Structure 1
Amino acid sequence: MAFNDLKHAQRARLEHLDRLFFWDGAATRTSLIKQFGISNAQAALDFRAYLAEAKKDALRYDASSRQYLAQEGFQRLSGEATSAELTQLLTTDFAAAFDRLPDLQRVQDMRVLRPLYRAFKAKEAVKIVYQSMRDPEPITRWIAPVRFASDGVRLHVRAWCYTRQAFRDFHPARIDPERSFEETRPAEAVPTDEDWFTWAILKLKPHSRLTDAQQRVVRIEFGFTADVLEVRTRKALEFYTERRWGLEQKEPRLERVSTEYVVMGAEETDAI
């Protein structure tokens, strides 16, 4: 039976063998029994199913240790490995040897997100009280939510601001839920968001201040396959992309060679 045609439960067990052979280089029937609580007979069946799908000479049984060992030609059956697998392995089996930085705690108030979503869905404008980092005091303004975007930490709402007569990104946490959303009206006279429908293709290279050896490591770290690395994002999200890739840091590892702006084709804009 083909690997992809297996029932979900058995496929999960074979995927576990896949991970063990890749990361540990070895696996036994006991590995399956401990992980899934199955019988010895079922574990033997699973092993036979795995061996039937594995590449010839990819595995070798070692009688002294009573386990199968992955050989040089071993290839996974369930696709390429990921760092997320290693993280899961460490947190499960080696918790004392692993830790992670605390998450950035950014408030996402449902009293703000829900009315923004409803206004977006209904194509309405809403009256909000917003505290920007440029203005010393909150300002009341009308906005028409048209898009949402994530910077990897929090959601932003992209909206047409009738006060500024321009598209702006608003942080929901800076909208006062007690004094906002009391008034709505149809979202009229909202122009096309040209920056949303334009690709910004950032062409990057290792920073010129780095040594040749450091530049080689940066190329490996960021997965360069050519002289420059192309990062594609919407022009409207270019600022967040620069920040996430560390281009604005004091001593960045990458520097921008150029940026190419490409207006999206009809197929791309019609799909949105």
Structure 2
Amino acid sequence: MVDDAHTQLTRWQRDRRAFIEHRLFWHGSIGLADLMSVMEISRAQASKDINAYIADHPNHLFYDKSERTYVMGSGFTPHYIVIDAAEHLESLSAVANGAPVANADWIIDPPDILRLSLPARGLDPVVVRTVLHACTGKRGLEISYQSMSAETPSRREIEPHALAHDGFRWHARAFCLKDQVFKDFVLSRMMEATPAGPATSAPEQDHAWSETITLQIAAHPDLSAGQRRITELDYGMADGVAELVVRKCMLFYNLKRLGLDTCPATRAPQDQQIVLRNADEVFAAMGRKAP
């Protein structure tokens, strides 16, 4: 957890200490040249930063004379960054694929990384910008929207207040003036978007956006004992259960992504490794019976 005890440090000092900890934890060592290059400071300033860090946090790092560099000590605990393995892997993946990522120059020696090849979504930058402005400005929009139920685009009046991503597509969460309900509009299906008047709805009225439900996920009971242990490790389960808090408007997408939207018996246990323990409660939240 980030330490709040060093508010007397300047922003630049905290940034340099964050870099020291990041490089120490993920790479195991840091040299003065690393600080000089990445943080664009002099050798004297880099040395001063390292020594000040050691003075404030003894046993966090020490100078290895044989390697001629500073290495992580046995007492290392992060004070200026949050160690998040999933976030770091996402950064590594972004760097490997040439995508922009914050503090990309903090990362060195990334391994080769592959991700699924997925088709690019046809997002119109002007439409996305217009939707973003409507969300922040509490404005309505008139859009030309191509739905799956119609052969040609139709005109809609909507009042977007947020965005959501289902793992594949971006949606605008918006009040539909025609249907008088809050629903999702796929951004790539918006042909045009034109600003309209002030929004008449309020985000607080979107109960499916603000209310949550907890999914109780467990290993498939028909797996072997060893397979259940592996599944519990894969999903970070505690006492055989992983709990996932989901907003109700994202419930359908979460269930579909996890393969929990159909009866567990339709797939082999080795393929559908998890089941929903509170299926009746979850599906009732969507006005449906559990499959």
* TM-score normalised by structure 1 residue count: 0.71
Find 2:123's aligned residue among 102, 108, 119: 108
1:215 to 1:76, Cα distance in 2 relative to 1, 3 A: same
Aligned position for 1:22: 25
> Could you tell me whether the CA contact under 8 Å between 1:148 and 1:155 is conserved in 2?
no
CA contact (8 A) 2:174 2:185 kept: yes
SS of equivalent to 1:64: coil
Which of 251, 274, 279 is the matching residue for 1:254? 274
In structure 1, C-alpha distance between the alignment counterparts of 2:11 and 2:64, rounded to whole Å:
29
Q: What are the Cα deviations for residues 20-47 of structure 1, in whole angstroms up to 9, with x where unaligned?
A: 2212322332332343343332222111
Distance 2:157 2:109 in 1: 50
Aligned equivalents of 1:215 and 1:93: distance in 2? 36
Aligned to 2:245: 232
Cα deviation, residue 204, structure 1: 1.1
Choose from 44, 62, 65 the match for 2:64.
62
2:187 to 159, 172, 190: 172
Given that 1:26 and 1:67 are in contact with CA atoms closer than 8 Å, whether structure 2 keeps it comes out as: yes
Q: Contact 1:108–1:154 at 8 Å: present in 2 too?
A: no
- Residue 236 of structure 2 corresponds to 223
Gaps of 5+ in 1: 264-272
The corresponding residue for 1:138 is 152
In the aligned structure 2, how far is the partner of 1:76 from the partner of 1:27? 15
Structure 1 pair 117–28 and aligned structure 2 pair: CA distance change class (3 A): closer
C-alpha deviation, 1:153, in angstroms: 4.7
Q: Identify unmatched segments of 5+ residues in structure 2.
A: 97-106, 286-291
- Determine the structure 2 residue equivalent to 1:94: 109
Say how many residue pairs are matched.
255
Report if aligned partners of 2:61, 2:76 keep a CA contact under 8 Å in 1: yes
**AA in 2 matched with 1:219:** E
Structure 1 residue 238 displacement after superposition: 0.8
Identity of aligned residues (%): 28
- Separation of aligned partners in 2, 1:15 and 1:182: 42
Pair 1:27–1:156, CA change in 2 (3 A):
closer
Partner of 1:150: 164
Contact 2:216-2:277 within 8 A present in 1 as well: yes
- Aligned twin of 2:219: 206
Distance 2:73 2:56 in 1: 15
- RMSD over aligned Cα, in angstroms? 4.0
CA apart distance, 1:48: 0.8
Q: Distance in 2 between matches of 1:186 and 1:42?
A: 53
1:164–1:225 CA distance, 2 compared to 1 (3 A)? same
Quote the Cα distance in structure 2 between the aligned partners of 1:20 and 1:114: 36
> Conserved in 2, the CA contact under 8 Å of 1:54 and 1:77?
no
